[in-house]
């Protein structure tokens, strides 16, 4: 677990990640990129909580309170793991988490949205798995168990 994960969240993040076949560092990186680990965060688009779940997504995942990390962190792990299974790569799963699975399907890969491209690179870098090339973004499927 990276040292930048707040101590009070370490067990929750590790347990949720392992329960869904994810590396804890990947889930931690997603949460850091989404909210900086702020459980009360609200985006201009209306995403809420530590995992920045949209209200409809929260409902679909059975999250009654997206501001409660005990509910939001396992839900975000379940959502990300589902995207990994659906798209076959961590990069595409992260893009789906950020831009929505419909956008990933529509573009047949990471959507050409500057925010989404930067998000994928940032999360992979935080998790110790990413790279950026001089001529643009390098998004490679990762080998091994769900990152």
Active site residues: 34
Q: What's the CA gap between 67 and 118, in Å, rounded?
A: 25
Cβ distance 12 to 39 under 8 Å?
no
Closest CA to 80 of 103, 56, 96, 102: 96
Find tokens 């870098």 and name the residue: 125
Count CB neighbours of 16 within 10 A: 26
Place of tokens 């792990």: 77
Structure tokens at 59: 């409902």
In the chain the beta strands, taken as DSSP E runs, fall at 131-133, 136-138
């Amino acid at each position: 677990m990276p040292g930048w994960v707040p101590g009070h969240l370490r067990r929750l993040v590790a347990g949720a990640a392992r329960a869904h076949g994810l590396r804890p560092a990947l889930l931690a990186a997603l949460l850091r990129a989404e909210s900086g680990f702020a459980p009360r965060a609200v985006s201009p688009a209306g995403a809420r909580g530590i995992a920045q779940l949209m209200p409809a997504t929260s409902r679909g995942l059975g999250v009654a309170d997206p501001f409660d990390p005990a509910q939001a962190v396992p839900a975000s792990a379940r959502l990300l793991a589902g995207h990994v299974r659906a798209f076959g790569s961590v990069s595409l799963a992260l893009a789906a988490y950020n831009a929505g699975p419909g956008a990933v399907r529509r573009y047949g890969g990471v959507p050409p949205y500057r925010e989404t491209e930067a998000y994928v690179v940032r999360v992979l870098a935080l998790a110790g798995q990413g790279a950026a090339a001089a001529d643009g973004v390098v998004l490679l499927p990762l080998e091994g168990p769900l990152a």
